[in-house]
Amino acid sequence: MTQALVFIDNPGPALKKSSLELLTIARSLGDTAVAFNGELHDDVAAALGAYGATTIYRPSAADLDDYLVAPKAAYLAAAVVASGAGTVLLENSADGKEIAARLGIKLNAGVITDVVGVDADGTAHKSVLAGSYNTTAKAKSAVAVLSVKPNSIDPEAAPAAVTPETVTVEVPAGATANAARITARSAKPASGRPDLGEARVVVSGGRGVDGNFGPIEELADALGGAVGASRAATDAGWISHDFQVGQTGKTVSPQLYVSVGISGAIQQKAGMQTSKVIVAINKDAESPIFEIADFGIIGDLFKVVPQATEEIKKRKG
């Protein structure tokens, strides 16, 4: 019997690192299967096998992507029943959490979001209230539904690769009946930098950059990191809202967060204070960001940041 079922939604030609993390956690819980949606590329199927997925479930319908979350939850519920899984793991994106939410109601299963670690007995670890508490939570139900944040574990392939069996799951009739339909979709330009939510280094700029994200981007590139921003910077239109870190933006937990020209309001801290190391550059010594920075520089970002970027480039040769 399958112990853990990982939902993987439309990965395209390669699995995301966060999906590999989910598969690694799933293996620690027991026999692992995947509920897959979208086109299954050969490389992806091979990677799923390398990470120990014994079965790949696929939906009987191809139009799940035409609707917002609800039909995917209906399919996933059918896959949970088919697999007999006790734990369902999903990514912690907006869609992932909402699929988890609906799945929970369908299966009368407890849902835990924002998970950063799962013990072998199913206990989930998370941090709440903007990182001020660490909690453990458990589902009381037969099935547990967990959405897991990226960077929670180092992905590890299975000791021996398996060749997964593919099984089609019948999507329940009426799955699309009360679902919102997606009538238009426009792709956003890709930046070539690591994904903000998954990056090991994030360099964020705030109102202090005064419309010029150049120095932020250059430092991010020198460190191989992602670019982030405060709401003041996104509201000013200097950078797209997608880059906002904070309560109403992304929550990030990188190895290194560099906060540049950001005061450190509570809503901004909510999105970054679980970062391992925090560096702050701000010309105002009174800025609250200095209360949580491991290394703080009181100075003009337009002098400090380019100098640091140059020095990194020099050292890296």
Partner 1 sequence: MKIVVLVKHVPDAQFDRHITGANNTTDRDESILSELDEYALEAALQLIEARGGSKAGNQVIALSMGPSGAVNAVKKSLQIGATEGVHLSDDALAGSDAAATSLALAAVIRHLGTDAPVDLVLTGMASTDGETSLVPAQLAERLSLPQLTFSSSLDVTGGKVVARRDGDTHSDTVEASLPALVSVTDQINEPRYPNFKGILGAKKKKITTLSLADIGVGASEVGAAGSLTVVESAQARPPRTAGTIITDEGDAGIKLVEFLAAQKLL
Ligand X SMILES: Cc1cc2nc3c(=O)[nH]c(=O)nc-3n(C[C@H](O)[C@H](O)[C@H](O)COP(=O)(O)OP(=O)(O)OC[C@H]3O[C@@H](n4cnc5c(N)ncnc54)[C@H](O)[C@@H]3O)c2cc1C
Q: Which residues bind ligand X (CB under 6 A)?
A: 206-208, 230-233, 244-249, 261-263, 265, 267-268, 271, 281-284, 287, 300-302
Main-chain dihedrals φ then ψ at residue 125, nearest 5 degrees: -105, 140
Q: Judged by CB, which is closer to ligand X: 144, or 233?
A: 233
By the rule CB under 8 A, 131 interacts with partner 1: yes
Cα–Cα distance for residue pair 40/250, rounded to 1 Å: 29
Q: Judged by CB, which is closer to partner 1: 46, or 128?
A: 128
Binding mask 137-156 toward partner 1 (x if CB under 8 A, else -) reads xxxxx---------------
Binding mask 172-211 toward partner 1 (x if CB under 8 A, else -) reads ------xxxxxxxxxxx-x----x-x---x----------
Min dist. Cβ of residue 289 to ligand X (A): 7
By the rule CB under 8 A, 116 interacts with partner 1: no
Q: Judged by CB, which is closer to partner 1: 1, or 181?
A: 181
Main-chain dihedrals φ then ψ at residue 60, nearest 5 degrees: -75, -20
Residues 6+ apart with CB under 8 A from 204: 216, 227, 228, 229, 230, 245, 257, 258, 259, 260, 262, 272
Q: Judged by CB, which is closer to partner 1: 211, or 224?
A: 224
Q: Are 147 and 110 in contact (CB under 8 A)?
A: no
Q: Are 37 and 168 in contact (CB under 8 A)?
A: no
- In sequence order, the β-bridge partners of residue 9 are 37
- Both tokens of residue 279? 């560096």
Element (H, E) at 91: strand 87-91
By the rule CB under 8 A, 61 interacts with partner 1: no
Q: Are 29 and 2 in contact (CB under 8 A)?
A: no
Cα–Cα distance for residue pair 310/74, rounded to 1 Å: 53
Among 61, 171, 223, 227, binds partner 1 (CB under 8 A): 223
Among 132, 163, 166, 212, binds partner 1 (CB under 8 A): 132
Min dist. Cβ of residue 127 to ligand X (A): 17
Half-sphere exposure of 9 (CA within 13 A, CB side): 21
Binding mask 65-104 toward partner 1 (x if CB under 8 A, else -) reads ---xxx--x-------------------xxx-xx-xxx-x
